[in-house]
Amino acid sequence: MARPAVLGVNFGQSYASIAVIDKEGHPLCIANEDGERQIACAISYAGEQVYIGNGAKPHLVKNGKNTIMGFRNLLGHTYDEVDHTAILTAPLIPESQTPAYTVDILVPPPKAPTPSVRSAAASGAATPAPQEPIPSTKTLTVPEVTSEFLSTLLASATDFLGVKPTACVVSAPTWFTPAQSEALKAAAEDAGMHIIQVLDEAAAVLVGYRVGLSEERKERGLLGQPEEGNAGEEEKRDKKVVVLDMGETSLAVSVVNVAEGEYTVLGKGRDDKLGGREFDNLLLKHFAKEFTKKTKVALDLPCGEDASPMDKRAEAKLRLAVEHTKRSLSASSGAATCAVESLKDGMDLSTSINRIRFDGLASGVYRQVGNKLNAVVQEVGLDLCQIDEVLLAGSSTLFPGLQQHLSLLVPPTTPVTSTLDPSQVIAIGCALTALHLTDLEDGLKLEDVLTYAKEPVETVAKPIGLVIPGQEGNEMVKIVDAGAPLPVRRRVALPVEQGVSKVAVELWEGKDEVKVEKVERPPVEKDEDDEEEDDEEEEDEEIKTPITVKEKAVGGIQVDVKDGKNVVLEVIVHRGGGLEVRAWEEGHEAEAAKFEA
């Protein structure tokens, strides 16, 4: 059966990527005709030529006023709502209510009628000289720029698939308003895309990792086996996940409750000034100092508003170069080079930086990312030890130093996942969503499914678990997690010791808490030759463990054991909060004991 031609687009503020479903049914992030998988969201008008993608970025050096970047976040806004100080390329014109740009172009001259050879010879008139292109201007609104850019992505996907995609899903930031999402959808439709959904980036990450990894494990024959990084345990049915998306210009953190395929956003936060550009600025400052040290030519980067045109041009050149340096630092443990011809005053820059030196420069940014992650988790009433997984997205999370820093903030059993390429996972999630929506069973309408997905979902208010009689302490074993969508059914198997004829359990509602244990640090021996220092005792180390404590008894149940087999406990929570509990010995389900509450 032929797979439908679908397209997933990760449309970022600085870069975009496109994913399709290949002939084997696997998601694949493809390259455009220039071999780029990360395509710069940039358009530059140079005379009669229009450059779109990575080829437009070099024009920032000499043709910045006709180069347009950073237009995605302007969708759905008026001119007065836009932060004009953040526009680093072609300026917006104030005459238009919708944000718009005016660029200089060259228009081909009107074609003169071509005289016949016989009439020209008879008249003796010379062939007219070709006319030069006519200088002109062109005004483009932000939706028009967006459509022009997205149309090139559609063309690349069409060339790869051999047919035009019949269904497209495009990503939008978690914080996009409905008006912005509608503006994005309209611009994509104008580009020729058949948009079936504008998908939240955090949701795209969850779909990309969950489904994409399942496909990969199926190919490797690992489906059904424990996943690496989960301490040998099977993946939990109910889990709390953090999606950390760090792109070129911003950081977005979402805390999501995952239960039975239902994603519930518990909280989210963003920082518009914390992104890959911070790494760029660190490298600019570092390389500018090296350049001045070697050449004695003064260069202080990043530039201020009052900087000379020469320094601004040097900054534009160096920004293009450090993009390649960052890719090398994230992909290789060796030194990454940076070379720029005629950076300033005719002097060249040729240098390198290794990963250890870079991590030292970037340690402050790493801490800011970790602090933001911790702050968003705390805002929803959780602790980092209660997070089951951290999923990474965005090209700026590719640095091993950042991944290592984040892994130190969470328990060793909590994976910081970047198994799929973080720069591609959003596009892959969009493509998989487009495939699933087009594969709906007969009788299911796409409109109904999307409408249902937007409706609020009734969930379990408090965790439900069991306490075995005679168990000491206030803790209980959680069976149904808070936030699980209703209705929900859970089954657990309780081992039975030999000689036991009856098994009784108590069901409780509980509360998630964090147990903190302090471990004394061993004393540090000091050499007599060491200089005297302030005798400041180090604080004891804290070990945090997520636990569930019992609050309210729900009921109890007892099962007669005949064959010495395990006892199966089934808990069902219906819509409206009704609780049904059943228990039986394996092989004796017909004799199950039960109660309702």
**Is residue 225 predicted with pLDDT exceeding 90?**
no
Cα-based distances in Å from 370 to 214, 257, 477, 545: 29, 20, 31, 20
**Crossing angle for the helix pair 201-219 and 425-438, to the nearest 10 degrees:** 80
**Tokens representing residue 469 in the block:** 């009689």
For residue 445, the tally of other CB atoms under 10 A from its CB is 9
Length of the chain equals 597
Is residue 207 packed enough to be buried (19+ CB in 10 Å), middle (13-18) or exposed (0-12)?
A: buried
How sure is the predictor about 119, in pLDDT bands with cuts at 50, 70 and 90? low
CB contact burial 8-28 (16+ within 10 A = b; e otherwise):
bbbbbbbbbbbbbbeeeebbb
Q: Is the pLDDT of residue 535 over 80?
A: no
Beta carbons within 8 Å of 266's beta carbon, 6+ residues apart: 240, 255, 256, 257, 380, 382, 483
Note the pLDDT of residue 417. Answer: 85
Q: How many CB atoms lie within 10 A of CB 79?
A: 17
- Could you tell me the pTM of the whole model? 0.86
**Dihedral over Cα of 121, 122, 126, 128: its sign:** negative
CA dist 386 → 183, 232, 331, 493, 517 (Å): 38, 18, 31, 24, 15
DSSP state for residue 532 in the 8-state scheme? P
Q: What is the pLDDT of residues 407-421, one digit of tens each?
A: 999 999 899 987 889
Average of pLDDT values for 574-595?
Answer: 90
Q: How far is CA 217 from CA 207, 423, 559, in A?
A: 15, 20, 40
Phi and psi torsions of 554, nearest 5°: -100, -40
The string of pLDDT tens digits covering residues 536-554 is 556 667 888 899 999 999 9
What the block records as the tokens of 105 is: 């172009």
Report yes or no: 280 and 362 within 8 Å, Cβ to Cβ: no
| Mean pLDDT to the nearest integer, 229-238 | 51
Neighbours of 404 (CB within 10 A): 12
Confidence (pLDDT) at 235: 55
Residue 117's pLDDT band, with cuts at 50, 70 and 90, is low
Digit-coded pLDDT (tens) for 273-289 = 899 999 999 999 999 99
Instruction: Place 143 in a pLDDT band, splitting at 50, 70 and 90.
Output: very high
* Average pLDDT over all residues of the chain: 86
86-106 pLDDT per residue, tens: 666 788 888 778 899 999 998
CB 270 within 8 A of CB 250: yes
Q: Phi-psi bin for 70: left (phi > 0), alpha (psi -120 to 50), beta?
A: left
Q: How far apart are CA 394 and CA 268, in angstroms?
A: 16
If residue 207 lies in a helix (H) or strand (E), which one and from where to where?
A: helix 201-219
